[in-house]
Amino acid sequence: MKLRLTNLIINNQRYKQLVSQLETLENGRIFCGHDMEHFLSVARIAVILCEENDIKADRDIIYSAALLHDIGRTEEYINGTPHDKASAEIADKILDEIECPEEKKMEIIDLILSHRCPDGEKSALAKVFYTADKRSRMCFCCKAQNECNWPEYKKNNKIGV
């Protein structure tokens, strides 16, 4: 499994700075975090769901989108920009910096833009990515469960489905 774009992203200076900034901004956060563990969990779950549902997908696109899908949280915390839109804008810049082919860039950005919406016209992969993002959370054992404002349909309250 060759993850060329994925490895270029994790070594990109802008990406490293944003991950560090996000870590600082979420320091002390009691709710789900947006860190490398979350990013990689989303990717791994999406790959498994693709295999289970016979969806042909490029793992490099899945992992790249997973690394970038919440990176715009920095903008959301600082100025209120919805993180899916901010993540897509940041991803566009990073993907240009690593010379990502345009077709793959558009697929990655599509996954980022659709990761918060359960409904709408979506590709099979976008639906899987949305599901993977929600299943990556361990709501069933979260210490902030009683304070969480996520709607029940988004919560991952059991292992497996």
Mean pLDDT of the chain: 90
Per the rule left: phi > 0, alpha: psi between -120 and 50, beta: everything else, 3 is beta
Answer yes or no: is pLDDT of 21 > 80: yes
User: All domains of the chain, ordered by start, with CATH?
Assistant: 4-18+33-154 (1.10.3210.10)
pLDDT higher for 24 or 136?
Answer: 24
What is the arithmetic mean of pLDDT over 102-109? Answer: 97
DSSP states of 82-114: -HHHHHHHHHHHHHHHTT--HHHHHHHHHHHHH
Cα separations (Å) of 53 from 48, 50, 122, 127?
9, 5, 16, 11
pLDDT at 153 > cutoff 90: no
Task: Categorize the per-residue pLDDT at 138 as very low, low, confident or very high, splitting at 50, 70 and 90.
Answer: confident
pLDDT of 148 strictly over 90:
no
| Total-model pTM | 0.91
Decide if 136 contacts 41 (C-beta within 8 A): yes
pLDDT for 65-85, tens place per residue?
999 999 999 998 899 898 889
Residue 64 pLDDT: 98
CA distance 145 to 71: 24
pLDDT per residue over 34-59, tens digit each?
A: 889 999 999 999 999 999 999 999 99
